[in-house]
Amino acid sequence: MNLSDKVMDLIMPNSKKKNEIIVDEEQEQKKSKQDNFMESIDRDSLHSLFPFSWEQYPTYVQSGENFMRTIAIADYPKRVYGNWLSELKRKKGSIDIVQYIDSASNNSMITYYKKTIQNKEAQLLNTFDPYKQKVLKNYIDSANMQLDKYLDNSTTFVYQHMLVYLRADSLAELDDLTENVRNTLIKLQMKPLIPVKATFQGFWSTMPINENLLGDYTYKESNTEVASSMFPFDDAEILDLKPRSDIEGINKDTNSIIAIDMLDRNTTLNQNMVVIGTSGVGKTTYMIQKILRYAIQDYQIYIIDPENEYTRIVESLGGSVLHLTSNAKYKINPLQIFSEEILSADEAVTNLDELVKDKIQRLKGFFEVLKDDMTQVEKAVMDNIVKNAYINSGILKYNRLNEIKNEQWPTLSNVYDELTKLSEKDPEKFKTIKDFYFILGSYTHGSNTLFDGATNINLDTKIVSFDLKPLQSEQEVQAGAYLNTFQYLWDEITKDRKKRKKLFVDEFHFLTLHKSASTFFHQAYKRFRKYNAGAIAGTQQIQDVIEGQTDSGQNIGEAIIGNSFTKVFFGLDGKGVDDITSKLRMNFSEKEKKLLERRRQGDALIIYGSQRAFMNVELTEEELRLIDPEAYKEKYDRETAEQPSYQKRVVLTPTEIEMLTTTEEKGGVDNG
């Protein structure tokens, strides 16, 4: 019987079956005419309505313009975790996962695993090949684990079958999809097989008719725990719970915690995070919460704070706050080089000439911030002027940066002096840079001296915050201070590849207002992972971010969000949602749009790689006490001056106490 006839038999079953009792032929015919009205239907007419035309090939089936293939799963990973099939479920293409689960006799399965352990242990005694020994040990460990789970009443035994049905519009597309899916299955520690010359059996087994013709080849002894993990009931979960994981919030759909291991490079592409939300929806509270949690994990924390929202929490943690004003005593010399790491090289550069050239390119972005309409001709002139300032300072005679004192580096005053010399030597050339000359003079000889002078700040504390709010009334100065601070911190972060570091960049739209600044921010942002660091960039001015561009014309918003493996969206207005969808090419479901537009405080959409979930950010009691004393007093009816004794609230059972205090390990006692 061919495939077409089997399909027709499903629609119109024959009156006679193999297992039917044979009765008198005349009575059967009479009964068939009376009861089976399907006999009166013309099968040829039905064929014209359902033109089942199939061509079977060794590895696929073709029906018209549809090309179909079945992949059978012959083996599964020994250990699984929640939502472990998510990567396969989210893969693009027409992919159906078909599963059969049959009950198994517990007694027979116990006998099976006992014999497996006995046989493999016997083989192990007679095997000297290290590879074969490891394979046998894996068999034994797996069997023991299955028995342990059964004895703990945490599971029962089943037979498991899994098929993956693929469909494409052409054979080439089908082959590409097959290769893509096979690679994913292998990555998930599954063993995929294509039933060669069994296309009918494979295709038929994927139909929703509960008939598995490949059962003898795909069955695998399993248990209910493993089987349940294959179903997508936890699709909304983002849960990688480890001692070092970041707890982001509470999953609103499942009521479980959302945990991410930012240091696991196998699951987290980079540590960068972007946090977007309008005023009053919880963005700042969320970022302060992360500062508190990183502070107790021995991270080096840097904060760029344009709104003075982090000063109080930084000081309460014993950190340093540098208040930058137009005539502040704190100086960061824009011309000083602090690190031998440059964006254009993968390794450290010790050649001072190369470091200076890289610094001059970065200074062009800084000058562009000071003069918004700076032309390419002006930048070219400044290139030579700044180079002369470095030469005349005498720092190029040294071999390494650590040999040069802060006071020896050229300053903006030296650059201004070089421009003055140019006005005397080449008046025509000076005309092209005259406007910038007067602007620069206001920063060297005017009331604004923030950028002029040797670097004198101290970054010895574990938490350092740069308060830029005093510059709020001077947008160019604030934007210049923002970029200068970011460049300085980039150099500090790149000095040490081992120390764990976090840079909080709030209201990062200040770095997107100018093309040169956007370009540097984007290039640095992409490379934080290389230095064991992560940037948490937040903004409520999504419009400015969307409109910003790099020197190459790339949308800076798309670039920064695209280079953030983790994205957190708090409440946005309707226009903000539409702008992100249309200009940043991000898709939100209708449910997600409603959540974002509702703008409920503390509610957010978190996107971690390809996973996404609704979450609510909740502060612990201690976090609330530190962040919002008034809310703490109202909620707990306690003063905030003294920290409560949280240890007294923890009650441990005798068993837990024994587990925490014993030094005994498997294999003996740790005497070290």
- Domain boundaries of the chain, sorted by first residue: 51-103+155-227, 270-322+456-617, 330-454, 631-665
Q: What is the pLDDT of residue 166?
A: 94
Share of the chain above pLDDT 70, in %: 85
Are the CB atoms for 512 and 559 separated by under 8 Å? no
- How many angstroms separate the Cα of 15 from the Cα of each of 10, 45, 48, 613, 615? 12, 19, 22, 52, 57
Of 440, 457, 455, 465, nearest in space to 369 by CA? 440
CATH number for the 330-454 domain, one of 1.10.287.110, 1.10.8.730, 3.30.43.10, 1.20.1740.10? Answer: 1.10.8.730
Q: What token pair was written down for 171? A: 């054979």
Q: What is the pLDDT of residue 48?
A: 54
Among 134-138, 284-288, 301-305, the range scoring the smallest mean pLDDT is 134-138
- How many angstroms separate the Cα of 388 from the Cα of each of 381, 415, 445, 535? 11, 8, 20, 35
Task: Give the C-alpha separation, 163 to 418, whole Å.
Answer: 74
Task: Give the C-alpha separation, 489 to 537, whole Å.
Answer: 14
Q: Does domain 270-322+456-617 have CATH number 3.40.50.300?
A: yes
Task: Give the C-alpha separation, 188 to 204, whole Å.
Answer: 26
- How many angstroms separate the Cα of 271 from the Cα of each of 267, 503, 612, 662? 11, 11, 17, 36
Q: What is the pLDDT of residues 334-368, one digit of tens each?
A: 999 998 888 766 677 778 899 999 999 999 889 99
Are the CB atoms for 258 and 248 separated by under 8 Å? yes
Q: How many other C-beta atoms are found inside a 10 Å radius of the C-beta of residue 341?
A: 21
Q: What is the pLDDT of residue 9?
A: 57
Q: What is the pLDDT of residues 445-485, one digit of tens each?
A: 888 889 999 999 988 899 999 999 998 888 788 889 999 99
Query: For the residues 382-405, what does the mean pLDDT come to?
Result: 93
Instruction: Flag whether pLDDT at 19 surpasses 50.
Output: no
pTM beyond 0.75: the answer is no
Q: What is the pLDDT of residue 46?
A: 54
Place of tokens 């240091």: 263
Q: What is the pLDDT of residue 672?
A: 38
Instruction: Flag whether pLDDT at 665 surpasses 60.
Output: no
Q: What is the pLDDT of residues 24-63, one digit of tens each?
A: 555 555 555 555 555 665 666 655 555 556 788 999 999 8
What three-state secondary structure class fits 152? coil
H or E element in which residue 421 lies: helix 412-425
- How many angstroms separate the Cα of 108 from the Cα of each of 103, 158, 646? 12, 11, 52
Are the CB atoms for 156 and 150 separated by under 8 Å? yes
Q: What token pair was written down for 345? A: 């090289």
Task: Give the C-alpha separation, 170 to 471, whole Å.
Answer: 62
Q: Return the ∠ at Cα 441 (arms to 436 and 447), rounded to 5°.
A: 130
* Strand runs labelled E in 235-377: 246-251, 257-260, 273-276, 300-305, 320-323
Task: Give the C-alpha separation, 300 to 319, whole Å.
Answer: 11
Map 439-497 to HEC letters.
Answer: HHHHHHCCCCCCCCCCCCCCCCCCEEEEECHHHCCCHHHHHHHHHHHHHHHHHHHHCCC
Q: What is the pLDDT of residue 590?
A: 82
If phi > 0 it is left, if psi is from -120 to 50 it is alpha, else beta; for residue 322 that is beta
Task: Give the C-alpha separation, 206 to 194, whole Å.
Answer: 13
Q: What is the pLDDT of residues 505-534, one digit of tens each?
A: 998 888 887 888 888 888 889 889 889 999
- How many angstroms separate the Cα of 110 from the Cα of each of 105, 156, 198, 218, 296? 9, 10, 33, 21, 48
Instruction: Flag whether pLDDT at 15 surpasses 50.
Output: no
Q: What is the pLDDT of residue 460?
A: 85
Query: For the residues 535-556, what does the mean pLDDT come to?
Result: 84
CA dihedral sign of residues 441, 447, 450, 453: positive
Map 238-254 to HEC letters.
Answer: CECCCCCCEEEEEECCC
